[in-house]
C-alpha cells in the first residue's frame, strides 16, 4: 500500500506540470500477457483504501485509480488499457470516467461503463483526439 500511495503522489504531482499522456507514460509498465485477468481483490482493496482516505491528493478519483491499477497489473505481467470517456447527463451536465480494459472488455467495474470514449492509454495516436458531435458544433 505504501508503494501505491507513493505512485498516487507522483502521478498527482506530475499531471500538474506535464500532459496526462506523459504522466501516464512515467508510471506505466505495460504487461505482455493476453491471458485472463481475474478480480484481484488485493489490488482493488489497497488502491480503494488509499484513495478513500479523501485527504489532499488521496481522493477517490477514477483516473488515478485506473492509472495505479494499470501500473500494478503491468508489474504482474498483465496487459491493460486505461480508457477515458464522457457522457451527457439528463440535466445537460457533462460527466467523465476512467476505467481499465483488458482485451477490449472493462475490468474492475461493477457494470459496463456507458461513456463515449475520448482517449485510451496506451494509445496508437500521439495526441488526444476530441470528437465533437455535429449537433454540438457552433459556427463562429
Specify the pLDDT at position 56: 94
Residue by residue, pLDDT tens for the chain (140 residues) are 999 999 999 999 999 999 999 999 999 987 777 666 666 788 999 999 999 999 999 999 999 999 999 999 998 888 999 999 999 999 989 999 999 999 899 999 999 999 999 999 998 665 444 444 444 433 33
Q: Which residues, in sequence order, are CB contacts of 99 under 8 Å at separation 6+?
A: 62, 66, 82, 83, 85, 106, 107, 108, 109, 113
Which domain does 46 fall in, by range?
Answer: 2-136
Specify the pLDDT at position 32: 74
In the chain, the number of structural domains is 1
Specify the pLDDT at position 77: 87
14-36 tens-digit pLDDT: 999 999 999 999 999 877 776 66
Specify the pLDDT at position 128: 47
Structural contact between residues 11 and 23, judged by C-beta atoms closer than 8 angstroms: yes
State the DSSP H helix or E strand holding residue 96, giving kind and residue range, or none if neither. Answer: strand 94-102
Specify the pLDDT at position 139: 37
Specify the pLDDT at position 126: 54
Residue 99: closest CA among 129, 73, 125, 132: 73
Is 0.75 topped by the overall pTM?
Answer: yes
Amino acid at each position: 500500500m505504501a508503494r501505491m500511495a507513493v505512485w498516487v503522489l507522483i502521478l498527482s504531482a506530475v499531471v500538474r506540470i506535464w500532459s496526462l499522456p506523459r504522466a501516464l507514460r512515467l508510471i506505466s509498465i505495460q504487461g505482455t500477457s493476453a491471458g485472463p485477468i481475474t478480480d484481484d481483490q488485493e489490488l482493488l482493496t489497497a488502491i480503494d483504501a488509499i484513495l478513500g482516505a479523501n485527504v489532499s491528493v488521496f481522493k477517490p478519483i477514477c483516473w488515478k485509480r485506473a492509472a495505479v491499477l494499470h501500473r500494478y497489473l503491468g508489474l504482474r505481467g498483465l496487459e491493460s488499457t486505461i480508457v477515458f470517456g464522457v457522457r451527457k447527463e439528463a440535466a445537460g451536465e457533462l460527466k467523465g470516467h476512467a476505467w481499465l480494459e483488458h482485451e477490449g472488455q472493462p475490468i474492475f467495474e461493477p457494470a459496463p461503463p456507458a461513456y463515449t470514449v475520448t482517449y485510451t492509454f496506451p494509445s496508437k495516436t500521439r495526441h488526444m483526439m476530441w470528437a465533437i458531435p455535429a449537433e454540438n458544433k457552433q459556427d463562429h
